[in-house]
Structure 1
Amino acid sequence: MLKKLYVLCALLVLIRLCTNCGHPSIVRPLPEPGGSDTTGIDTISTRPDPGALDTLRIINSDSLLAFSKRFGSVYSFDEADLEQKTGTFYKANDFIGRPVTLDYKFVAPASDTMKHRPFVLMVHEGAFLFGSLDNEMGKARLLARKGYAAASINYRLGFNGGSQQNACGGNNREIIQAVYRAVQDTYVALHYFAGKADELGIDPGQMMLAGSSAGAITITALLYMTEADFEALLPGITATLGRLDPQPFGTPFRVRALLSTMGYSIFKSSYITAANAKPTVFFQRTGDDILPYQQGTFLSCPFYLTVEGAKPASERLRKWKVPFELNYQPEKGHHLSYTEEYITNRYAQFMKRLWANNPHQIVNENFKTIEDVLIK
């Protein structure tokens, strides 16, 4: 009898231990080399591999969000109903080793009856040389009025040889490292906000990444590029700058869609595969002179790497039957003529269709729909 009881207890212990079988041990997050972690998260759980971020449990189901009166083109809240919070999510060293404190602004409806809202993380423009989180706060507040929680972040800026007046003064090593650092910072921000889900009223399983220009490059690289991809572009980058995700065992999150504007670039559209393709909204001019609509060089600088724009990226999504909305203007220039209200309305309507399992591939020229295909 005692022998049977011993065997039973041993089995129960084994079962308990194996609830995390197949996952690495739980550890504290790894800080950026030369910096210090400021997430303030004491209990860190493992997260899936970056290529499989679709396993996290969603708190609010897609159907609940789809049929809610919130989150669409109508404003559910007034400006006075919103609350804003600020804080620091990370400290790291910049391109010349200076310590940088990275902060955020968070906005959402105050006294909200929905305790875990879909969340949009916004990454600003500026050629990885200038700009700030305030550039995205107009769109963030419009989304908050629709019922979302949203935040805009600062990330590390600058690279040797580059300046606001001359973005083409660097070299490929410098610009690849600049993108890598921005991706690292965005990863940390995602873990940070997922870790504060209860405090801030966020659903970590319903996160969207929104980026403008350089921000669009950043969120695209985060979703579609691995450390191996960066190593292929610049051997030794991981040893120099550390893990692409500095907190590989940080609080889990799930990215549902990419929402880009003011151009789009990916080093290679072939990074987008059937396994990792994400629903995406694009806004770009066909004559974009900073980020090529089809194919060109990074920041349109003659000696930088080749990149691809919204057109080939959307064609990859078309191939894999993934929802997208391509908004293009047949004009020259980088800056678009869409208002922030129009852009956020398109974002919101896109997410409503996604949550309603009503997947479309839409192409809009200026404000006119020229193609609308229901994915079957």
Structure 2
Amino acid sequence: MIENQPPVGNAPATSEAASEHDRPSSEPQFVYQGDDQTALQGILDSAFTPHATEVIGRKPLNARFKVVHQGKIQVYDLSYGTDVKILPVRPPAYYAIRIGHAGRAAITHHGRTMPFSPTIVSPGQVLSNTWGADAAARIMCVPRDLVDDAVRGELGDAPTSPVQFENLLDPRVPDIANWLRLATLFSTMIDSGVLDGPSLAAAHFEHLLVHTLLRTTQHELTDALAERRGTAGPAALRRAMAYCEDNAARPISVAQIAEAALVSTRTVHELFRTHLNSTPLAYLRRVRLAGAHADLVAIAEGNAAPRTVAYVAQRWGFPHTGRFSRAYREAYGRFPGETLRPRSTSPNDEGETDIPFPAPA
């Protein structure tokens, strides 16, 4: 018995239906409930990937397939009501994450049997699985482009091939256990109806799930992501910082910094606050003060043409010389005119370039 089947997976849909599908919806919808294997197979092939289903149990098929959440990420509940064996005919083009199950079930990959959940099947992988009559699973399907976008945001470039996650999500690993709790919270909020209806909340939650999955699990980009996090933070922040450094002598705005970082002005503010405990304009001022300091030292050492403090201040975006002098003194402990004086060999002058970049205010 098929009940008002919505467009699922790659199933064709009218433009009106497709528009509905694009909006996150967390209201559960039974797509199929019954014993018609042919009908069920067609629906599941569209929702997941073409696969062969072999009923190996004595009980008749009594399947239940429910759409739990439809957004950029899809969440489904599935059970067969009898023992079955599943073998994909074509590898999936998405990430299938079994975030939980009840009953007897197992996955086999290259002859190795592993727990049914929590596991990830990445695009291109072919895994067979068996379901007991009492098995029921919640499956989260994540499109490859969401993972690619997350990689691009972290590393600056999208991967040339699908990220391959380790299949088993081992809850004994603290970070993975935390991600599973997050996925469970998402699942619980779906069930409670909190995410029902048009809302940005579900979309933000999906974004969080994908980015944290990338950061907490093992895959071929794990080391690169860890290295990036240990240095300058997310790629968007690095782009914003680079733009400030490359354009410090020009009049630039927060909107321009955000545009260069490929994020909103609100996001760029959050990035600087979270990772640098600063603001975009405060960081820009630090860059400008560092540039002015370098110029003054170069002039004092005879490595640059003689210039006045006012000239250097104007060059680095400080139109008011008095304010520049006060900001410079706060950062470097002396007025710019003192730095500009010819260098002597006295001990007090030997540390002139000890602070190449002003500390955050």
Which TM-score band applies after superposition, normalised by the shorter structure? under 0.3
Q: What is the TM-score when the length of structure 2 is the normalising length?
A: 0.25
Question: TM-score, normalization: structure 1?
Answer: 0.24
Q: Is the helix fraction higher in 1 or 2?
A: 2
**Which structure is larger by alpha-carbon Rg, 1 or 2?**
2
